[in-house]
């Protein structure tokens, strides 16, 4: 398994492509937007420069990693020789189901189809393909090149062989794979998102301000980043989407998104990526400061 296709050149997609390419895999990075592909490659290059500056890799390592990545705007062309596809598109069920229908038609019959979804049912995704036994979740953490965990999610029909293959593959990437079952939010977001949502509720109810809430959690609970700052980093639209999936899946009011989160997303205040969330990132320098603090 040396040819890996990655669908989506955004934050998660380019991080996944970076990680596979740095581990010696030939990566086909696919996105419908040529501009997104250019931005994705630029981000990978910038992150590699940071690693060179820290003397974690050499300039030759950087060149080899970038040389392992080829970009495509067509799914059919990009997955032609892929042994594994990792989908990392926007967390939208209709979009993902459509992508997996295309992948099922375009990929070789022995290609494993993985999704980086952070909450959507693997079983539901697999059901739109003719190979549900070969559909699995690979939930990487952000930033992908640094974070060690990969949640490996088995759908109801995912085979033991595919699960074992992906577990071992994750280890070759220097990751720690952890197998979980297919329920809304899996483990990471089932625990994380209610905490972030409760932090937003705390702000919404006027218990304390943004910086005060984050300070309590950083200094009192030893979190490297406050929950509101973390929500900004993840993307408030992503947080809302995950909470909606869990609320729909469990019908439990504890997963209902806070009205403040809903209104902020409606207003386009999505966090770092939009320039404003719970904090102001209108100056690019401020956004970079937050990212660097997290990456230390």
Provide the pLDDT confidence category of residue 293 given band limits of 50, 70 and 90: low
pTM of this prediction? 0.89
Pairing of strands 69-72, 26-30: parallel
Q: Give residue 295's pLDDT.
A: 46
Name the residue with tokens 């074992």: 164
- CB atoms under 10 Å from CB of 136, counted, come to 26
- Sign of the Cα torsion 6, 12, 16, 22 reads positive
Each residue's pLDDT tens digit, 80-113: 999 999 999 999 999 999 999 999 999 999 999 9
Each residue's pLDDT tens digit, 210-239: 999 999 999 999 999 999 999 999 999 999
CA distance 180 to 170: 14
CA 197 to chain CA mean position, Å: 19
Q: Give residue 296's pLDDT.
A: 44
CA distance 24 to 174: 12
Token output for 47: 């992150």
| Active site positions, annotated | 118, 139, 151, 189
Question: Who's near 31: CB < 8 A, 6+ residues apart?
Answer: 7, 8, 9, 10, 13, 37, 40, 71, 73
24 and 155 in contact (C-beta within 8 Å)?
Answer: no
Q: How far, CA to CA in Å, does 289 sit from each of 211, 232, 294?
A: 16, 13, 9
Average pLDDT, rounded, for the chain: 94
Each residue's pLDDT tens digit, 106-137: 999 999 999 999 999 999 999 999 999 999 99
Annotated binding site for NAD(+): 8-13, 31, 91, 96, 118, 142, 273
Q: Give residue 1's pLDDT.
A: 80
- CB atoms under 10 Å from CB of 212, counted, come to 13
Q: In DSSP terms, which residues pair with 62 in a beta bridge? A: none
- CB atoms under 10 Å from CB of 94, counted, come to 7
Q: Give residue 287's pLDDT.
A: 47
């Amino acid at each position: 398994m040396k040819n890996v296709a990655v669908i989506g050149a955004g934050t998660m997609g380019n991080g996944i492509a970076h990680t596979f390419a740095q581990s010696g895999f030939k990566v086909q990075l696919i996105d419908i937007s040529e501009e997104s592909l250019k931005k994705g490659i630029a981000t990978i290059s910038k992150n590699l420069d940071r690693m060179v500056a820290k003397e974690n890799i050499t300039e030759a390592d950087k060149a080899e990693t970038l040389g392992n990545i080829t970009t495509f705007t067509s799914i059919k062309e990009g997955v032609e020789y892929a042994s594994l596809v990792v989908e990392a598109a926007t967390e939208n069920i209709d979009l993902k189901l459509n992508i997996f229908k295309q992948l099922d038609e375009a990929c070789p019959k022995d290609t494993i189809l993985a999704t980086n979804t952070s909450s959507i049912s693997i079983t539901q995704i697999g059901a739109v393909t003719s190979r549900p036994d070969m559909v699995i979740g690979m939930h990487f953490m952000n930033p992908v090149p640094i974070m060690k965990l990969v949640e490996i999610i088995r759908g109801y029909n995912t085979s033991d062989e595919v699960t074992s293959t992906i577990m071992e593959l994750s280890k070759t990437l220097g990751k720690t794979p952890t197998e979980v079952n297919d329920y809304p939010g899996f483990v990471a977001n089932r625990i994380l998102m209610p905490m972030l949502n409760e932090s937003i509720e705390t702000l919404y109810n006027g218990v304390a301000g943004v910086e005060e809430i984050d300070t309590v959690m950083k200094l009192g609970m030893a979190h490297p980043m406050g929950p509101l700052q973390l929500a900004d980093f993840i993307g408030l639209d992503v947080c809302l989407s995950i909470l909606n999936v869990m609320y729909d899946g469990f019908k439990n009011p504890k997963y209902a998104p806070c009205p403040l989160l809903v209104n902020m997303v409606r207003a386009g205040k999505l966090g770092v990526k939009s320039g404003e969330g719970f904090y102001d990132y209108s100056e690019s320098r401020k956004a970079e400061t937050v990212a660097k603090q997290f990456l230390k």
